[in-house]
């Protein structure tokens, strides 16, 4: 019996290690590739014989043969992602709060509408958005992108609403009795309680803006206005076979901040994911 148990444990450990390898391998491979000498995809060994920082330097040097304003792209992306995060989180939290805490006319209708809108593929409306932005003279502007990301933020409110639903209503009722206004209640009671869900929403909106290339490619027309996602996608389709290591370095720099953020803020992400799942 004991032996059988030990065998089972050993098998489990073997499986765990195997899964771990599968999880890590692609990340490890791309990181090592980014330090590899030369520019080809093919490598004889996993760990390159010679390491170099050249590809990282290449990203930040202006080169005559390619047009890769990587630093500019990084800055554009950061600007867009941070602004969308702040505005998007604000809108989403406010919407969720209103839907969770108040019973007003049209509430059920609004919730149903939000649900239905979420069922359309997000980019199906691309052409219309394009024309609207064209008419507003906003094409090729990073702010147009922020506008598009932010205006859709309210639609993702169900996770936050589920969270607000769990905050006991007695808290506000007593505050109301003490003469607090609605905005005071929101600022002084609800906001401090909802840091976990705010963090979750902030990370996810930030990431969404950081990695989106569908709308970014549609809206940002000129090369120097691009974001990292658009630039990298372009890099892959035009250079990946010939400049693989450059792509590797570029991807590592794009992925690193997000990955670190996710790993460090895991707790909040797990919280948000599970909250969103059970509350629907």
Residue holding tokens 């920082």? Answer: 53
Q: Report the residue from 40, 62, 195, 242 that binds other proteins according to the rule CB under 8 A.
A: 40
Q: Does 143 engage in binding with other proteins (CB under 8 A)?
A: no
CA distance 94 to 88: 10
Residue holding tokens 């590899």? Answer: 36
**DSSP string covering 212-266:** --HHHHHH--SGGG--HHHHHHHHHHHHTTTSHHHHHHHHHHHHHHHHHHHHHTH
Q: Does 155 engage in binding with other proteins (CB under 8 A)?
A: yes
| Residues 177-196 interacting with other proteins (rule: CB under 8 A) | 181-183
Q: Report the residue from 138, 189, 193, 211 that binds other proteins according to the rule CB under 8 A.
A: 211
| Residues 101-120 interacting with other proteins (rule: CB under 8 A) | 101-102, 104, 107, 110, 113-117, 119-120
Q: Does 82 engage in binding with other proteins (CB under 8 A)?
A: no
| Residues 120-139 interacting with other proteins (rule: CB under 8 A) | 120-121, 123-129, 131-132, 135
Q: Report the residue from 5, 178, 192, 222 that binds other proteins according to the rule CB under 8 A.
A: 5
Q: 51 by DSSP, 3-state: which?
A: strand
What is the smallest separation between the CB atom of 185 and other proteins, expressed in angstroms? 10
Number of residues that bind other proteins (CB under 8 A): 95
Instruction: Pick between residue 175 and residue 236 the one whose CB is nearest to other proteins.
Output: 236
What is the smallest separation between the CB atom of 101 and other proteins, expressed in angstroms? 8
Residue holding tokens 């059988």? Answer: 4
Q: Does 247 engage in binding with other proteins (CB under 8 A)?
A: yes
Angle, helix 2-34 to helix 244-264, in steps of 10 degrees: 130
CA nearest 35: which of 57, 14, 68?
A: 57
């Amino acid at each position: 019996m004991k032996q059988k148990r030990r065998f089972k444990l050993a098998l489990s450990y073997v499986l765990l290690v195997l899964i771990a390898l599968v999880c890590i391998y692609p990340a490890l491979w791309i990181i090592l590739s980014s330090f590899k000498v030369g520019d080809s995809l093919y490598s004889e060994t996993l760990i390159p014989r010679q390491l170099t920082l050249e590809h990282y330097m290449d990203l930040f040097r202006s080169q005559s043969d390619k047009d890769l304003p990587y630093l500019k792209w990084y800055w554009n992306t950061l600007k867009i992602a941070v602004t969308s995060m702040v505005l998007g989180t604000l809108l989403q939290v406010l919407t969720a709060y209103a839907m969770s805490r108040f019973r007003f006319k049209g509430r059920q209708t609004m919730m149903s509408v939000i649900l239905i809108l979420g069922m359309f593929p997000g980019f199906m409306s691309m052409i219309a958005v394009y024309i609207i932005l064209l008419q507003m003279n906003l094409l090729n502007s990073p702010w147009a992108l922020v506008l598009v990301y932010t205006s859709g933020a309210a639609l993702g409110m169900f996770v936050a609403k589920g969270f607000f639903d769990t905050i006991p209503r007695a808290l506000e009722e007593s505050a109301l009795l003490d003469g607090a206004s609605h905005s005071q209640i929101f600022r002084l009671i609800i906001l401090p309680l909802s840091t976990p869900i705010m963090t979750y929403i902030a990370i996810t909106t930030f990431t969404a803006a950081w990695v989106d290339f569908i709308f970014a490619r549609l809206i940002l027309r000129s090369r120097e206005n691009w974001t990292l996602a658009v630039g990298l996608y372009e890099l892959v389709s035009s250079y990946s076979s010939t400049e693989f290591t450059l792509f590797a370095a570029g991807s590592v720099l794009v992925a690193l901040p997000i990955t670190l953020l996710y790993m460090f803020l895991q707790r909040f992400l797990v919280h948000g994911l599970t909250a969103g799942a059970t509350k629907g």
